Amino acid sequence: MSAQTNAMRTPLANAEEMPFNAAANKPTLAKTITRLLLYAAAITISLFFLVPIYLIAISAFSPQQAIFAYPKALIPQTLSADTMLFFWNARGVQSALVNSVLVGILALIFSLLVGAPAGYALARFLFRGRDSYKMLILTTRAFPIVILSIPLAVNYIQWNLYDTLWGVAFAHTAMALPTTILVTSSIFIGVSRELEEAAQTLGCNRAQAFIKVALPLALPGLAAAAIFTFVLSWNETFAATILTQRNRTLPALVLAQIADVGAPLPFRYAGGFFLIAPSLIYIFFMRKYLLGMWGQVVK
């Protein structure tokens, strides 16, 4: 890389200059190998994730007999909605779906209400313990929910939060907050402080400057952070299982069905596919944005 840029800097007047080619060749070979290895790694990782997703997807859209067939056909012979419909009409699925959506929306709202101001503070203010605070946010992720779940369940029972959607939403908010805070802070860092100051000199107080200038500029990023929370909540199984009994979210319901009742294969495949679909759609549309988020969101 550096050899090449150096070669580029040599005067162009001397066009037949040999060192240019000689210098460019060697790193190119090394670069090709590096690139090949990089691609090999990327393909391996992609396959690791994509193959199971593919298998689940074709099973979810195969007729029920095909699901039990062994060995499995890698390319589905016939497509059918039977399996998905079987899942859709299974007892509890539709109400669990409603629960999941409600919990997701609640978690999204709470995590933005709490996380966005925290992220804003991290981005704008130098306060005592700012770095420790950042560390602390990350360390909350180090506590396994498994350890916290029993005390949490006990407290929830005492607070009458057990087996409520609110309770699950609160748990999911807590889990999403570290990401929300760090992501929103990086979004607000991308919004120049001078813009808000300019608004203040033009008649805004601090809050108005935030609402009229920083917020609109941060909105796309905040939306991405919000959807991230929703997807996290949608996928979260453990806390949802521990903290609910009858008001199950969809993943908790599917897990319970499999563990307790030993749900049939079509139910598993269709349920699995139904659960991963939103994440896939989200990542597909947001991937560019999520990558950009850590660089510069607003120019």
Partner 1 sequence: MGEIRIEGVWKYFNKGKVAALKDISLTVEDREFMVLLGPSGCGKTTLLRCIAGLEYPERGRIFIGGRDVTDAPPRSRGIAMVFQSYAVFPHLNVFENIAFGLRMQKRPNEEVTRRVNQAAGLMRIEKFLERYPAQLSGGQRQRVAVARGLVMEPQVLLMDEPLSNLDALLRLQARAELKRLLQEVETTTVYVTHDQIEALSMGDRIAVMEIGEIVQVDVPKEVYENPATLFVGGFIGTPPMNFMRGTVKSVNGASAITIGDQVIHAALPAHFQTGQDLLMGIRAENIEASTQSSPDAVPARVLVVEPLGSHLLLTAQVGDTPIKVQTRIDFPVVPDQTIYLKLESNQVRWFDAETGVRFESGEKMSVV
Q: Using CB under 8 A as the criterion, which residues of the chain lie in contact with partner 1 when the complex forms?
A: 192, 194-195, 197-205, 208, 212-213, 216-217, 298-299
Cβ neighbours, 10 Å, residue 139: 11
Q: Based on CB atoms, which residue is closest to partner 1, 208 or 279?
A: 208
Nearest to 271 by CA among 102, 90, 65, 100: 90
Q: Based on CB atoms, which residue is closest to partner 1, 79 or 202?
A: 202
CB 162 to partner 1: min, Å: 45
CB 188 to partner 1: min, Å: 15
CB 198 to partner 1: min, Å: 4
Nearest to 167 by CA among 232, 225, 249: 249
Evaluate whether 196 touches 209 at the Cβ level (below 8 Å): yes
Contacts of 214 (CB under 8 A, 6+ apart): 120, 188, 191, 195, 196
Q: Based on CB atoms, which residue is closest to partner 1, 64 or 200?
A: 200
CB 65 to partner 1: min, Å: 56
Residue type present at position 218: A
Q: Based on CB atoms, which residue is closest to partner 1, 33 or 219?
A: 219
Q: Give CA separation, 267 vs 76, 97, 208, 219, 255, in Å.
A: 18, 15, 52, 39, 11
CB 109 to partner 1: min, Å: 24
CB 299 to partner 1: min, Å: 7
Q: Based on CB atoms, which residue is closest to partner 1, 2 or 201?
A: 201
3-state secondary structure 222-271: HHHHHHHHHHHHHHCCHHHHHHCCCCCCHHHHHHHHHHHHCCCHHHHHHH
Q: Based on CB atoms, which residue is closest to partner 1, 218 or 270?
A: 218
